Structure 1
C-alpha cells in the first residue's frame, strides 16, 4: 500500500534516504584504503584487519532479504528508522573501538543496519512517489549515494594519512544521525497490506545461516584453503540450510520470499544483469586498488585521487538511469550498461599510459555503475509496489553475495598466477575474462527478451509500441520490461 504523501513529505523522505545511502557508500569505499592504518594502530596483520570488511559484508548480505520483507510486512518507516539508528550506533562504536575485536563487532552492527536501510529505502521511495516520478526519484537518490562512492576512496585515503581512520566513522555518525532526524519527521509509512503481520521466523533463520556460511566461506576460503575442513564445512552448511529455506518457502502460507517472483522473467533478467555488473564493479575496483598502489606505487591519498574520475562518472549513473527510464525498457538499459562495462574492462586491460588509463577507467565506471545502480530502479518497474521491499532485498542479496564470490575468485586467480607471472599480467587476464562475461550476459539478456517479444510475453523495445499485443491476454502484461 502506498500512502498519499504531500510534497514536503516526499522531499523529506527523499533527503533521508539519500543521506542514508550516501553514508553506506562512503563507509564501504573509504575503509578499503584504511585497512593498513587500522592494522598499524592495533598491531595486527593486514589479513586480520581485513575482518573489518569481511564482518561488515557478512552482516550486510545476510539481512537484505530479512530487512526488505520486514519493511513490507510491518511498515517501511519503522524498519528504515531502526536501520539508520543501528548504522549510526555502529559508526560511533567503530570510532571509539579500543581493539580490533570491538571494531569488528561494531562493523557487524553497521552491516545489519545497512542491510535494513538499503532494501527499505528503495521501497520507501517507490511508495512515496507516484509512478510518473518514481524512476527519477530513485535515480536521483542513487546519484547522491554514488557521490559517496566517488568520495569514499578520497575520504578514506585523506583521513588515514591525516587525522586518522577513526574520523571516517565520526563523519558517518554525524551524517547518519542527521538522516535519522529527517526520517523521523518526514518519512511516511507503507507496507504490503495483503500480507498478515506475521514473519516466517524459520525462513529468516535458515536464509541468514545459509548466507552467513556461504559469505564466510567465500571471504576466508583463500586464507584457510578451499579444500580445508572449515571451508568445506561452511559450504555444506550453506547448501543444507539453503535447501531447507527453499523447501520452507514452498510449503509455508506466508513465505519470506514468494518464489513466484522468479517466474517474472524481466525481473530475473534485470537481477541477473545487475549481479554480473556488480561482480565486475567489485573486481575492477579491487584490481585497480592493487594496481595503483602495488604496481604504480601510489600512496592511499593519490590512489583515491585517481579513483575520483571513474567514481564521479559512477555518481552520474543514477540521474542518467532516471533519464533513460522513460525512454528505454529496463532490460534494454541493463544490456546497454553491460556492453559499456564489458568493452571498458577489456580496454582497461590493454592500457598503461596515464592519459588513457584514467578515461578508460571512467568508461568502465559508467557501464558498471549504471548496471548495478539501475538494477534497483528497474526491479521496481517490473514488480508491484507492495512487494518492493522483497524484490529489492532479493536483488541486493544477489549483488553482494555474488560480488563477494567474484572478489574471492579474483584473489585466488592472482595467487595462482603470480609465482610465474608479474601481478599486472594476472590483473589484465581477470579484466579480460570479466569483460567477456559481461558482454556475453548482455547478449543473452537481449536474446531472451527478443524471444519473449516474439511470443507476445513482453512489449517491444519501442516505448510507443502498443501493449498488450492482439494475441496476448492481460495475464502476460508486465510493468515495463
Structure 2
C-alpha cells in the first residue's frame, strides 16, 4: 500500500538515499573498464580472464532486473531497496578484499544482484513518494546525481588504477553505499502494489533468469569461445527455449511476474525501444572512444578518463534536462529528440579529427545518448500506473542492459572482422556511422507512430497526462 502523503523530510531522505545508491552503481559500472589491465597485472591473469569481472556483473544485473522490480511491487519497496543496497555494499567490500579472480567474480555477482534490486525499486520509490506534480522533477534530479557517477567513472577508474590501485574503486563504494543504506533505513517509506497478493511467480522468475543468463553469457563470451562453438550454440538454444516458455507461463500464471498487457501500451513500447537504442549507442560509443583514445591517440588511462569528462558532464546534466523537457513535451517526443541528437552526434564524431572539434562533438553525443537512456526511466513512469512502476522499470532496465551487452559483443565481432582489411580507426568510424544513422531512423519512426496514434484518437496531441505518451 502507498503511504498517505510522505512528509517533506521523508521525501528528502528518500531522494538522498536513492540518489547516492544510484550514484554508487553508476560509478562502479563505468570505473572498472579502465581498471582491467591493473586487475590482470595484480592477479597475474590475462586481460581476457579479467573481463569476467565485467561479464559476471552484467550477467547478474541483467538477469534480476525484472525480478527485483516485481519483488518491490509485491512485497514492499522499502525492504527490497534495503536488501539491494546491503548486498551491493557487501559485494563492494568483497571486491576490495578479493585475493584472486574467483572471489572477485563472486563478489561482482553479489554487487550485480544488489544493483538489480536497487535500480528498478529506486525508480518506483521516487514515483510513489513524490506527488505527481513534482515526480518528474525528482526523477530527473535523481538521475542527474546518478549520472555524476557516470561522469566520474572513467576518471576515477583510470586515476585509481594508475595511483593507489584498482581496489580503491571498491573502497570508495563501500562507505557511500553504507550511507545510502542508513539514510534509506530512516527515511524511505514503504509502498507496494496493493492489488497484488504477496505471491511471486517463481516459475516465471526461473525462466526469465535462465533465458537472460544464457543469452548474456553467450553474447559476452561468444567472441572468445567462437560463435559456432558448442558452448555458444547450446547457450543460445537454452535462451530461446526458456524465452519461448516464459510468455506461455505468464499467460497461465494466476499472478504473473510480468503482465503481458504492458506491451499493448504503445507509448511504453516506444519509450523502451528508444531508451534501449540510446543505451546501446552509449555503450558502443564509450567502448569505441576508449579504443580510439588509447589505441590510436596513445593516451594513458588517466588521460583518456579526462577526455571523457566533457561528454560525461553532459550525461549528468541530461537527467535534470529531461525533467525540464517533460513539462513541455510528451515522453515519446523527448525520446525522439534524444535519438536525433544522439544519432547525429555519433555520425559527427567520425568527422571530428582535431581535438578542438572532437571533444565538443563527443559532449554533444553524450548529451543525446545520456538523455535517451536516462529519460527512458522517467518516461516509463509517466505512461504506466504507479502501482506497476517497479515492474515497468524492471522490464525496461532488462532490455537496456541485455541489448547493451549484445551491442557491445556485436561491436567487438565487427571490429575483429573489419580490422584485417582496414585500419582500426576506419572500423570504429564505420560502426559509429551505421549506429548513428539507425538511431536517427528509429527516432523518426517513433514520431511517425505517435502521429498515427494521434490521428486515430488513441493519444491526445497536447496532453501531458500519464497515459498520453
Q: TM-score, normalised by structure 2?
A: 0.99
Q: 1:445, 1:118 → 2: CA distance?
A: 26
1:43-62: CA deviation from partner (whole Å, max 9, x where unpaired): 11100000000000000000
Inter-partner Cα distance in structure 2 for 1:478 and 1:160 = 45
Residues 1:258 and 1:463: Cα distance change in structure 2 (over 3 Å): closer
Measured in 2, the distance between the counterparts of 1:140 and 1:11 equals 12
Q: What is the root-mean-square deviation in Å for CA atoms of aligned residues?
A: 0.8
Distance in structure 2 (CA, Å) of the matches to 1:246 and 1:39: 41
> How far off is 1:480 after superposition?
3.0
Q: CA deviation at 1:326?
A: 1.1
Task: Indicate yes or no: 2:319 matched with 1:331.
Answer: no
| Aligned-pair CA distance for 1:478 | 5.8
Q: CA deviation at 1:463?
A: 4.7
Is 1:480–2:459 an aligned residue pair?
no
What secondary structure is seen at the aligned counterpart in 2 of 1:179? Answer: helix
Report deviation, 1:245: 1.1
Alpha-carbon shift at residue 187 of structure 1 (Å): 0.3
Residue 298 of structure 1: aligned partner:
299
Q: Residues 147 and 311 of structure 1 are in contact (CA less than 8 Å); yes or no, is this contact kept in structure 2?
A: yes
* Aligned twin of 2:2: 2
In structure 2, the CA distance between the partners of 1:307 and 1:478, relative to structure 1 (3 Å rule), is: closer
Whole-Å Cα distance in 1 between the matches of residues 37 and 466 of structure 2? 49
Gaps of 5+ in 1: 465-476
Query: What is the distance in 2 between the residues matched to 1:151 and 1:35?
Result: 17
State yes or no: 1:89 paired with 2:77.
no
- The equivalent residue for 2:74 is 73
Which secondary structure state, in structure 2, belongs to the residue aligned with residue 193 of structure 1?
coil
Runs of 4+ deviating beyond 3 Å: none
Counterpart of 2:111 in structure 1 is 110
1:18-97 equivalent positions in 2, closer than 5 A: 18-97=19-98
Distance, in Å, in 1 between the alignment partners of 2:254 and 2:244 is: 18
| Cα deviation 1:277-301 (Å, max 9, x = unaligned) | 1100000000000000110010000
**Which residue does the alignment assign to 2:320?**
319
> Cα offset for 1:2?
2.6
Aligned to 2:455: 454
Deviations 1:392-415 (A, max 9, x none): 000000000000000011000000
The answer (yes or no) to whether the contact 1:95–1:167 under 8 Å persists in 2 is: yes
1:167-182 counterparts in 2 under 5 A?
167-182=168-183
Alignment of 1:236-247 (within 5 A): 236-247=237-248
- Structure-2 separation of matches of 1:356 and 1:480: 39
Find the counterpart in structure 1 of residue 408 from structure 2: 407
CA distance in 2 between partners of 1:59 and 1:349 (Å):
34
Q: CA deviation at 1:246?
A: 1.1
Could you tell me how far apart the structure 1 residues matched to 2:193 and 2:375 are?
23
Distance (Å, rounded) in 2 between the aligned partners of 1:293 and 1:87:
31
Identify the residue that residue 308 of structure 1 maps to in structure 2.
309
User: TM-score by structure 1 length?
Assistant: 0.97
Query: Does the CA contact (< 8 Å) of 1:328 and 1:463 recur in 2?
Result: no
Cα distance in 2 between the residues matched to 1:286 and 1:61: 19
Question: What is the rounded CA distance, in whole Å, between the counterparts of 2:421 and 2:402 in structure 1?
Answer: 31
Kept in 2: contact 1:67–1:79 (CA 8 A): yes
